[in-house]
């Protein structure tokens, strides 16, 4: 049952990780800056966790080192004591049998302990060595990760500044484009207005010409118009066209016509 639960747990973790990867890939195509900020947050969390592991590894190394140094010191001290006891036992001046026996008994105990400690010392030294290697590995990983994270933050900051600059430039270009369109529209309106003015000038010129023509025609007609029309006439023509007055009728003629 435990094996099955472990398998299911791994499968769930793997599935959740895949979902996160798919989500990041989807977001990256929409908002890469947001994805980078999210990834940096995850990197910082990972770095924090790694740093905690390094601190714990350093504490373990210091503990293993202290134990090894303590055992090594005790071993050296006990070995020195054993040597003193052996020298005392082998001293020709040692004539007290009971004292020599006590020294010998204590020496035997020390030698027994030293033999056991000698077997443990390599293991203790190996533990301290392994703890130091583990600490150094984590320390190197933390330092490398910290540098990479700092570089990533700098890159993100530069990219954000570049995007901001490009966005400002893009807005400026759009504004220039709108201004250019406005100028073109104004120019077109001015051109149309100029066309209207030109048409009005032409109409004014035409009307002036019409007025001048009418005036000239009127002047010409005045010169050739018959008498009684109010215009002046040539004297020869006037004489030729002059009508004789009608003869006076008598009263009898006027009565006869009734």
**Can you give the length of the chain in residues?**
258
**Per-residue pLDDT of the chain in tens (258 residues, 90 and over written 9):** 444 334 444 444 445 455 555 545 555 555 666 777 888 888 889 989 999 999 999 999 999 999 999 999 999 999 999 999 999 999 988 888 899 999 999 999 999 999 999 999 999 999 999 999 999 999 999 999 999 988 888 887 888 788 889 888 889 888 888 888 888 877 677 666 666 667 777 888 888 888 877 777 777 776 665 544 445 556 666 666 666 666 677 666 776 666
* pTM (2 d.p.): 0.51
Residue 64 near residue 120, CB atoms below 8 Å: no
Q: What is the CA angle 72-133-128, rounded to 5?
A: 20
Instruction: Measure the CA–CA gap between 43 and 193, rounded to whole angstroms.
Output: 66
Q: What is the CA angle 27-169-156, rounded to 5?
A: 40
The 3-state secondary structure of 69-92, one letter per residue: HHHHHHHHHHHHHHHHHHHHHHCC
Q: Which of 27, 34, 118, 135 is nearest to 76 (CA)?
A: 118
Residue 50 near residue 142, CB atoms below 8 Å: yes
Instruction: Measure the CA–CA gap between 143 and 247, rounded to whole angstroms.
Output: 147
Question: Which two tokens mark 11?
Answer: 């499968």
Q: What's the CATH class of domain 31-165?
A: mainly alpha
The residue ranges of every structural domain in the chain are 31-165, 181-223
Instruction: Measure the CA–CA gap between 43 and 156, rounded to whole angstroms.
Output: 13
């Amino acid at each position: 049952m435990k094996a099955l639960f472990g398998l299911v747990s791994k499968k769930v973790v793997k599935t959740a990780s895949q979902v996160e990867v798919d989500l990041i890939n989807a977001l990256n195509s929409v908002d890469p800056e947001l994805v980078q900020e999210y990834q940096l947050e995850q990197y910082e969390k990972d770095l924090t966790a790694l740093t905690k592991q390094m601190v714990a590894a350093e504490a373990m190394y210091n503990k293993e080192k202290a134990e090894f140094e303590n055992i090594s010191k005790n071993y050296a001290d006990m070995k020195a004591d054993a040597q003193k006891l052996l020298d005392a036992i082998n001293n020709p001046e040692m004539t007290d049998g009971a004292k020599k026996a006590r020294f010998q008994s204590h020496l035997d105990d020390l030698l027994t302990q030293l033999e056991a400690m000698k077997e443990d010392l390599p293991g203790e030294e190996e533990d301290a060595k392994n703890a130091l290697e583990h600490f150094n590995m984590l320390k190197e990983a933390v330092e490398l990760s910290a540098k990479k994270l700092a570089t990533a933050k700098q890159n993100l900051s530069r990219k954000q500044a570049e995007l901001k600059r490009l966005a400002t430039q893009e807005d400026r270009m759009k504004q220039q484009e709108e201004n250019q369109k406005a100028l073109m529209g104004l120019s077109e309106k001015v051109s149309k207005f100029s066309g209207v003015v030109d048409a009005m000038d032409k109409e004014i010129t035409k009307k002036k010409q019409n007025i001048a023509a009418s005036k000239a025609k009127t002047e010409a007609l005045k010169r050739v118009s018959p008498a009684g029309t109010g215009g002046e006439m040539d004297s020869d023509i006037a004489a030729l066209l002059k009508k004789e007055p009608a003869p006076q009728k008598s009263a009898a003629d006027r009565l006869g016509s009734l």
